[in-house]
Structure 1
Amino acid sequence: MSNERDVSLDAMRGIAALAVFGWHSMLAFYPLSSGYLGATPIAESARSQFWFVAVHGAGAVAFFFVLSGFVLTRLSLTTGRTDILVRGLIKRWPRLAGPALVAVLGSWLLFAVGGYFYAPAAALSGSSWFARFGGALTDSSFQPSFVGAFLQGAVLTFLRGDSTYDSSLWTMAYEFYGSLMVYALAFLLATRPALRARLIVIGGAAVACGAANPALIPFVAGFALAALLPRQGLRVPAPVGVIATATALLGCGYTQGALGFYAPLTAIWPAWLPIPYLYAAAAALLIATAEGWAGMRRLLSRPWGRACGELSFPFYLVHVPILCSVGAYAFLATRSAPAAIAATLLVALVGATALAGFSRWWLARLNVAVGVVTASFQRGRLGRTGPIASPP
């Protein structure tokens, strides 16, 4: 894939991170409008409004997972190179853990200095989600500690999904295990370009994930897109691109039983079919459209898209602690939800910029370390097998 395409996909990740921020802001300051907290009829909640896709956290998270399945395996599946997968596999946990650990330790520090104001703010807004620290605290026995924060940010959030210091980190276990799964699948297919082999592996993975945990289906969808999309992508005419994008956004914004704008999907989507299947298909369609529609790719590849993509993961990591500290304080001081959301967004962007700087430094160190490890492995392998004679 070209650099331009990479930027366009990163920009879409950033837009999805803003959707998650919008969803959490709604849960904190407009809980009745969310349609999840309180007794607001679904037809009168945001879930039935056309713009709900812009703040639909579940659809955005599914998009993250599909995008991971796609970008982690696409280059290897189109070139047949497995060394890309080896390096990616070695880096995956530390690549995620570095920024996550910084965010969790920052949250611990806010606990230590009394910087959180979510409880009184929740009493004012009436949000049970806010009262539980963004849904992170499910019991009253939690006691913040530096050691606990360090273990959670470095290891436990990836192995068990622990997220008591930052509720957004519940996705990290899925991200970690889903990444391992698609790397393994890519190893099977990187040197097997035959369509039949790819369909068999994809079908088997989909059946296994559907039976074990449908939440992993988006990773399979991203991997399937990486394996089946033509090497040069698709050429999507503008009219088709508009229709495909609108259809994908409709799917990403849907929640079970929604009415109003989303009523057609309620009529045709069977209640017994897990909703991750719909989100996975919609996100895959959106990515395929962005890859093939030149106009969309150019729009997303502009400098704003590059910045949006670079800040996406750091912003995702820091926005809930900032919402529960700065946002909650601003809400108590002003009694204004818009002012609290604006303050949260501003400070979260500053924090994300700082964390993005750390992430660049961390990734550079990781790349050096992985280069040393892989070079040592190759030298050891050469020593065991002896020099390889050049062909005549």
Structure 2
Amino acid sequence: MTTRFGYDLRENHLDGLRGWAAIFVLVSHLRPLLPENFKIPRIFFADGMLAVSIFFVLSGYVLSIGFYRNTSKRRVIDLAVRRYPRLAIPVLFSCLLTYALLNLNAFYNIEAAKITGNKDWLPVFFHFTTSITEVFRYSLYEIFIDPLATPSFNPVLWTMSFELAGSFIVLGILLLCGKNKYAQLTVPAIFLAVATIYESHFSGFAYGMIIAQLTAKSHSNWNKGRIVNTLLIVALTLALYVASKRELADNALLLPVCAAICVFCIHFCQVLRSFFSMKISTWLGALSFPIYLTHILVLFSISSWFIVKANEFNISPEITATSTILISVFCSTLVAIAFKPIESTAIKLSRKISKTILYARSSNPLEKVNDA
């Protein structure tokens, strides 16, 4: 995809990685719905927190790579204007879906929790009364400033405050640095150091910026050798292994590092790029945000309902667990496909808003913003 600024924004392998990361979040949230003797081990494809850290690294990369390739402040300002509506509109509709399901009494997560034995997560959500006004306030304001805003219309939305603030920090740093090469190197490094000291999720955005700089400055052929690609695959494997062995208390420090290594290796390894550029990967990438926003609603309604009914009919735990996994993945994908037009509309509308705000009064839109 070519932007109006004349350069390509899409990198298929990174879209593919984002798609698989969304699936990993889905699988990780499936674990509480399964019987104790049928738990999916917390390895990379069931590690939702690692996947979220990968999202943050990818955001830092995608938001900054265009600037490092072209040093265009115009695109930075354009991205800043577009960022909030691009996130908020899909978030709003996911919460409206929650509101509809609440009013239809379609959530069965509390009943399912009694069957599966999960007491600390599954039964916590979706047992409150609310109003449409509260839906709009939560979706458009509260969740973007407070990751623990209650009542929670969608448990995965805690990331939105980090996503929005992290995006603005990245874009602000790019505007601050401009064409100053020294500032481009030092300011992201300072951002990373501060975020790491405070054990913040923002460190993922900083790692993404650094990977973007390496991409913009790297020699095009350095990573085409068999030895280099083998080393990158080994590094990826080690990062996934370390992430799977971490203690929860170490998430804020260790996960961004592991996530950055994953993104770096997949980005620069030709073999891994090929896999994540396959049609199935890029198709999942196109659905990644809809999957992320809606899968919890599927799990707590359709999947939980199935668990309740399977228990009523005395279906064996093994068959119930296997069927729950298949139903959850299928229905989450189906709902995400139906939700995709909402995201597409949000993207188009955010571009129109940016164009209206920044360029409407100029006969030559690209001259409206100073690129110095």
**Normalised TM-score (structure 2):** 0.85
Instruction: Find the partner of 1:105 among 96, 99, 107.
Output: 96
CA contact (8 A) 1:10 1:309 kept: yes
Amino-acid identity (%): 22
Give, in whole Å, the separation in 2 of the partners of 1:225 and 1:383. 30
- 1:166 corresponds to 2:154: yes
Give, in whole Å, the separation in 2 of the partners of 1:225 and 1:72. 12
**Amino acid in the other structure paired with 1:301:** S
- Tell me what 2:196 maps to: 210
- Deviation of 1:227 after TM superposition, in Å, equals 2.5
Cα pair distance change 1:229/1:358, threshold 3 Å: same
SS in 2 for 1:72: helix
- Deviation of 1:143 after TM superposition, in Å, equals 2.4
Give, in whole Å, the separation in 1 of the partners of 2:184 and 2:253. 20
Instruction: Find the partner of 2:285 among 291, 298, 309.
Output: 309
Cα pair distance change 1:242/1:121, threshold 3 Å: farther
- 1:24 corresponds to 2:29: yes
- Deviation of 1:224 after TM superposition, in Å, equals 1.7
- Tell me what 1:318 maps to: 294
Q: Deviation digits for residues 325-374 of structure 1, max 9, x if unmatched? A: 00001111224122122212211111111111221122122212321222
CA contact (8 A) 1:314 1:353 kept: yes
Give, in whole Å, the separation in 1 of the partners of 2:366 and 2:84. 28
Cα pair distance change 1:253/1:60, threshold 3 Å: farther
Give, in whole Å, the separation in 2 of the partners of 1:254 and 1:238. 24
Instruction: Find the partner of 1:179 among 161, 167, 181.
Output: 167
SS in 2 for 1:165: coil
- Tell me what 2:316 maps to: none
Cα pair distance change 1:279/1:207, threshold 3 Å: same
**Amino acid in the other structure paired with 2:215:** L
SS in 2 for 1:307: helix
CA contact (8 A) 1:13 1:309 kept: yes
Give, in whole Å, the separation in 2 of the partners of 1:143 and 1:254. 42
- Deviation of 1:212 after TM superposition, in Å, equals 3.9
**Superposed CA RMSD:** 3.0
Q: Which moved more, 1:231-240 or 1:15-24?
A: 231-240
- 1:345 corresponds to 2:329: yes
- Tell me what 2:83 maps to: 92
Give, in whole Å, the separation in 2 of the partners of 1:299 and 1:99. 29
- 1:146 corresponds to 2:132: yes
**Normalised TM-score (structure 1):** 0.81
- Tell me what 2:106 maps to: 115
CA contact (8 A) 1:13 1:64 kept: yes
Q: Deviation digits for residues 140-168 of structure 1, max 9, x if unmatched? A: 7x422222112212221112123611101
Give, in whole Å, the separation in 1 of the partners of 2:321 and 2:328. 10
- 1:131 corresponds to 2:87: no
Structure 2, unpaired ranges of 5+: 312-319
- Deviation of 1:378 after TM superposition, in Å, equals 4.7
Give, in whole Å, the separation in 2 of the partners of 1:59 and 1:382. 39
Give, in whole Å, the separation in 2 of the partners of 1:382 and 1:228. 27
- Tell me what 1:62 maps to: 53
- Deviation of 1:277 after TM superposition, in Å, equals 3.6
Give, in whole Å, the separation in 2 of the partners of 1:379 and 1:4. 25
Cα pair distance change 1:109/1:8, threshold 3 Å: same
Q: How does 1:200-349 map to 2 (within 5 A)?
A: 200-231=186-217, 235-236=222-223, 237-252=225-240, 254=242, 262=245, 274-335=250-311, 336-349=320-333
- Deviation of 1:33 after TM superposition, in Å, equals 6.9
- Tell me what 1:388 maps to: none
Structure 1, unpaired ranges of 5+: 35-44, 385-392
SS in 1 for 2:11: helix
- Deviation of 1:5 after TM superposition, in Å, equals 6.1
